[in-house]
Amino acid sequence: LGTSDLLVSQVCLGGMTWGSQNDENDASQQLSTAWDFGVNFVDTAEAYPVPLSAETQGRTDRAIAKWMKATKQPRDKVIISTKVCGYSERYTWLRKDGQGTRLTKEQILESVDSSLKRLETDYVDLLVLHWPDRRVELTNPLSGQEETPVAGRSLGVVPFEEQVEALAQLVAEGKIRHWGLSNENSFGVNEFRRAAAEAGLAPPACVQNA
């Protein structure tokens, strides 16, 4: 996978409907079928399933954990990618303090600890920043250039360095093996690579854009 040492199948099974549009039995059948065909890579996120809601949040993770336990899958044979939410003032149920989501060091660490509990594992293979903390317009022709602060964001913008500091700590603690980006532009990728290099952290392994 990208710059990492992870060996993954050409297909990654996405689980964002498990627990809402599909139930746990559907999830188990889909996972087993995928593994029978050689898939070893599954994608989840702390906020899944979609549509996002406080009532269903975390069901995708728990469906994966239940399947792994029921089928006695060796942990090293299941490559798990999960995602931590970027900036949102709407998703107040995801954090203990009841505030919206941000990519602060504190929130990234809290998110991963909660994901590990739901997934019933000691580590995830890939942690992806689901969307940026700052505002990014991927369709804007100027989106690859340096961005100016956006007014009206009550929670502010978290520096790249703080986000990388959290990721480096998680790698050092063995809670994540690699990290990546999602819904990011070229400016952000370059800034994360710079901050990672300064912190002695390996660069992002991949970019997953919609």
Angle between helices 59-71 and 105-119 (to 10 degrees): 40
Whether 90 and 150 have beta carbons less than 8 Å apart is answered as no
Is 48 in the active site?
yes
Choose the catalytic residue: 48, 87, 91, 123. 48
Decide: 49 and 21 in contact? Cβ < 8 Å: yes
Please, what sign has the CA dihedral across residues 108, 114, 118, 119?
Answer: positive
Q: Which two tokens stand for residue 132?
A: 């940026």
Helical spans, DSSP H, in the chain = 24-36, 59-71, 105-119, 160-173, 186-199
Q: Show which residues are catalytic.
A: 48
